[in-house]
Amino acid sequence: MLIFSWVTTLCFIGFQYKKEKQYKSDFLNAQLQLYNKHLLETIEEGLSYEDYIASHEKPFEDLRISIITLGGAVIYDNKIEIKKLENHINRPEIKEAIKEGAGYNIERQSKSDGQEYFYSATLGKRVIVRTALPYSVTLKDLLRADWSFVFLMISIGLVMSIFIYFATKRLGKNIEKLNTFATKAEKGESLDKEVSFPNDELGSISNHIVQLYFQWQQTIKDRDIAYQNALRQEQEKIRIKKELTNNINHELKTPVASMQVCLETLLSGIKLSEEKRQELLARCYSNNERLRHLLSDVSLLTRLEDGNNMISKEPILINDIIKEISQELEIMPKEERFVLHADFKEEVRIEGNRTLIGSIFSNLTENTIAYSGGKNIYISLIENNEKWCSIGFEDDGCGVKEEDLPRLFERFYRIDKGRSRQMGGTGLGLAIVKHAVQFHGGKISVSNRPTGGLRFNFSLKKDPIAK
């Protein structure tokens, strides 16, 4: 930039100097040409040119005046003897005058006396008048360039150089910053997100590049995290399915073994009383019902996990489901009967699957009847708005130990395994509740009530998106 600036400045100075010198030369030539024409007019009028030269004022002192024939012979010269002068036909100013009518030559050395002159020649009808001004101090001053302009241009060049220096220095720092950033990015080194560039076009472009790079890095990181999460979820699904298979296998062994013993006894031919036969058949039926419930629950869980998009949805009034639960409790034997306390002050409608919503309330109710040891069930509407409804389900039983609370929603998890099997439970009821709530876009939590019993709080989305 500095070289370009100074080359431009010097070229302009040279051009301006040449132009100014040409202007001054033309001005000087115009003065001499005017004198030449007046002298030519005198000669053409037949008057004495010597008298004119002697009597009229010359434009410059020391002016050399020559009268030359069209053939180049000098017939008059006020400074040098004619006999010493050779033919001038080949002098540049004479040749130009013959061709153009007028001509001049700057700083040409005279062959006659060896002195440098400024020549100006004018063509007449019969002769050529040539005036010559020697390069004295006066003429040099006249043709000298205006150095104030040169000094002005040099000053401007210096100011431009200083400006260019600081501008390119700033630009160089920005480019160096960007280059350092690119080098570190290429090597994969840690980068400073706070790297800043000035508020100019290059800075704006650099900031965009940096932001795009960090966005790309974040996208790569998010992709890796998503991949790891997907991999973990897939591994977790495999683990859960494997665990589910093992648990189902374990759960099937007991009723199948019991049914096999009963059937083998009945088919052995041993004489049994009618009462004993009925007992064995009742045991077979009970274990068969247990197997049926187990298979039904496993099928429902599989549908919830793998076939959410195939489960239909319809408008549901939660109040009707609670009413059905209340009616089922009323037909229980009096000594086993639970009292339902429903606190639903308004109608709650959602878009969901009726069977799954019903399984939430029915499984919580069956779990309470089987294991709580209480006598009362409390269902309350905690919150109801355009997007969500939040419901509480409580009992007044004995509750569970705090360490067992986080595992209540696990498949086949039982606090008292022996008692649970005697009650005919499959160990999947609360797992189904959790999945049904999640299918409807909600969450469920469980805690012990301060006064005894369990409290289940769950939410349901009014228009859930199955995930």
Residue 121 has pLDDT above 60, yes or no: yes
Alpha helices in 194-273 (DSSP H): 201-267
Where are the strands (E) in 344-421, listed by range?
A: 349-352, 376-384, 388-395
Q: pLDDT tens digits, residue range 324-380? A: 999 988 888 888 889 999 988 889 999 988 888 888 998 899 889 888 889 999 999
Tokens standing for 6? 């100074």
Average pLDDT over residues 252-269: 80
H-helix or E-strand spanning residue 120: strand 116-123
Q: What is the mean pLDDT of residues 415-423?
A: 51
Give the contacts of 212 (CB within 8 A, at least 6 positions apart).
none
Q: Which range in 95-104, 237-246, 413-422, 428-437 is most confidently predicted, on average pLDDT?
A: 95-104
pLDDT confidence bin for 464, thresholds 50/70/90: low
> How much is the pLDDT for 193?
60
How high is the pLDDT of residue 266?
83
Q: Determine the angle formed by the axes of helices 354-371 and 318-330, rounding to 10 degrees.
A: 40
Among 162-166, 247-251, 254-258, name the one with the lowest average pLDDT: 247-251
Average pLDDT, the chain: 81
Please, which pLDDT band fits residue 457 given cuts at 50, 70 and 90? Answer: very high
pLDDT beyond 60 at 425:
no
Most confidently modeled range among 188-192, 239-243, 374-378: 374-378
Quick one: angle between helices 354-371 and 429-439, nearest 10?
A: 150
Residues β-bridged to residue 163:
none
pLDDT above 90 as % of the chain:
21
Q: Which of 166-180, 215-229, 425-439 has the lowest mean pLDDT?
A: 166-180
What is the band of 418 on the pLDDT scale with cuts at 50, 70, 90?
A: very low
Radius of gyration of the chain (CA): 59
* Span of 61-65, 304-308, 384-388 with lowest mean pLDDT: 304-308
Give CA–CA dist 206/183, Å, rounded. Answer: 14
Instruction: Pick the range with the lowest mean pLDDT from 132-136, 305-309, 386-390.
Output: 305-309
The proportion of the chain whose per-residue pLDDT surpasses 70, expressed as a percent, equals 84
Rounded-to-integer distance, Cα 265 and Cα 349, Å: 54
Q: Where residue 421 falls among pLDDT bands split at 50, 70, 90?
A: very low
- The structure tokens listed for 320 are 């009707």
Label residue 231 by pLDDT band (50, 70, 90). Answer: confident
Contact indicator for 235, 207 with CB cutoff of 8 Å: no
